[in-house]
Amino acid sequence: MALQLNHLSFQFHKFTSFSPPPMASIRSPTVFMASTLRSGSKEVENLKKPFSPPREVHVQVTHSMPPQKIEIFKSMENWAEQNILVHLKPVEKSWQPQDFLPDPASDGFHEQVKELRKRAKELPDDYFVVLVGDMITEEALPTYQTMLNTLDGVRDETGASLTSWAIWTRAWTAEENRHGDLLNKYLYLSGRVDMRQIEKTIQYLIGSGMDPRTENSPYLGFIYTSFQERATFISHGNTARLAKEHGDIKLAQICGTIASDEKRHETAYTKIVEKLFEIDPDGTVVAFADMMRKKISMPAHLMYDGRDDNLFDHFSAVAQRLGVYTAKDYADILEFLVGRWNVEKVTGLSGDGRKAQDYVCGLAPRFRKLEERAQGRAKEAPTIPFSWIFDREVKL
């Protein structure tokens, strides 16, 4: 899940902060270039102090799932053990970051590092901006484990709870933890990026947290994670592809390996929601529409490096331009999920359920149309400095 990359939280500026990619910003770069205090900026309140991290502006809603539904998740525990935990990899069979990095215990260490740095030299700055943003997102893992533990009915009550849900959450966290570690070490060794600025960004981000507006509801939560895992699978897949194109096969393997984890996680989360559609189609379709209406916000949308008040938007724009995570991907993921969960065919819905079904089924085409128009009207993008790469400039 970690890679949520700005990708696609979609920063349609016209929408809200928690929205699709920066299509609008591509159209009018002057808007976000104008000042540090952007009017209408999502996380920026009117009284925002310049050079402070952004904060969530929406009112935070809690426990929106009716408490009687908690039973559903208790009763699903055996099912989860048989059907969800199987998607975890045993630790003994799992890859570790060291498998992809120079071996410090070997005599060849220095040579391996030299080779890594040589390959890294061939990767352009804009690629590094996106890779760094991804890494920062992964490194904010504490926030995501926290988020999973806010969900009613499935939270890990003690930190060592033996419910299937708690076992899943801890093991998922453990698998994800390797992603940030691996990317961190790679970036450190590469010599191409300002580690201190990156580390600062991570500290700010974990401090900021995030509110994906899942309101303690596992319905909303698992729909959110389904979307996000697929988004990270796509974006890591793209960074892998680009690494290969630039001749860094080892980095391509790194990104590809991370992507395959995300795919496994996506399978697990989508299975949970599929089961929820079976058990409570009305509640689940309404939840799906609710999350899409609120827009799937990217986990790292509050990122801040102490310098750029619009860091996430800028990062998103580069990810969009490089094709790592785009508005089109957002629409594709939505369409995929609608198909995966057979939303069109769901029956026995209430009036609200049918409205939600119509909304969700009709949404992807609307996004695509918007995206087409934005592409057609895209203006020349500015180049701006990124502190992650020593203030070298990159085109948005």
Partner 1 sequence: MVTVGWTKSGFPSLRTSRFRVSCSAKPETVQKVCEIVKKQLALPAESELTPESKFAALGADSLDTVEIVMSLEEEFGISVEEESSQNITTVQEAADLIEKLVQKKSEA
In the annotated binding site, the residues are 138, 176, 179, 229, 262, 265
CB under 8 A: which stretch of 25-33, 76-84, 218-226, 333-341 binds partner 1? 25-33
Of 16, 81, 95, 274, the catalytic one is 95
- Catalytic status, residue 265: yes
Q: Which of 122, 342, 377, 391 binds partner 1 (CB under 8 A)?
A: 377
**What do you get for the CA distance between the two ends of the chain, in Å?**
25
373 near partner 1, judged by CB under 8 A: yes
Q: Does 141 bind partner 1 (CB under 8 A)?
A: no
Question: What's the token pair of residue 258?
Answer: 């991370």
Active site residue 314: no
Report the binding-site residues for Fe cation.
Answer: 138, 176, 179, 229, 262, 265
User: How many other CB atoms are there within 10 angstroms of residue 373's CB atom?
Assistant: 12
CA distance 286 to 269: 18
- 74 exposed, middle or buried (CB, 10 Å; 0-12, 13-18, 19+)? exposed
Burial of 145 (0-12, 13-18, 19+ CB in 10 A): middle
Number of chain residues interacting with partner 1 (CB under 8 A): 16
Q: Which of 94, 350, 366, 383 binds partner 1 (CB under 8 A)?
A: 366
d(CA 269, CA 228): 10
Q: Is 14 in the site for partner 1 (CB under 8 A)?
A: yes
The reply to whether 44 sits near partner 1 by the rule CB under 8 A is no
Q: Which uninterrupted H or E stretch holds 32?
A: helix 29-33
**DSSP letters for 205-237:** HHHH----S-TT-HHHHHHHHHHHHHHHHHHHH
Rule CB under 8 A: say whether 40 interacts with partner 1: yes
Q: Which stretch binds partner 1 (CB under 8 A): 21-29, 102-110, 121-129, 213-221?
A: 21-29
User: Does residue 274 have an active-site annotation?
Assistant: no
Point out which span in 11-19, 57-65, 105-113, 140-148 binds partner 1 (CB under 8 A).
11-19
For 81-114, b/e burial (b = at least 16 CB within 10 A) is: eebbeebbeeeeeebebeebbbeeeeeeeeebbe
For partner 1, the closer of residues 55 and 366 by Cβ is 366
* Minimum CB distance to partner 1, residue 354 (Å): 14
* Footprint on this chain of partner 1 (rule: CB under 8 A): 12-16, 19, 24, 27-28, 31, 40, 293, 366, 370, 373, 377
Catalytic residue set: 95, 138, 176, 179, 229, 232, 261-262, 265
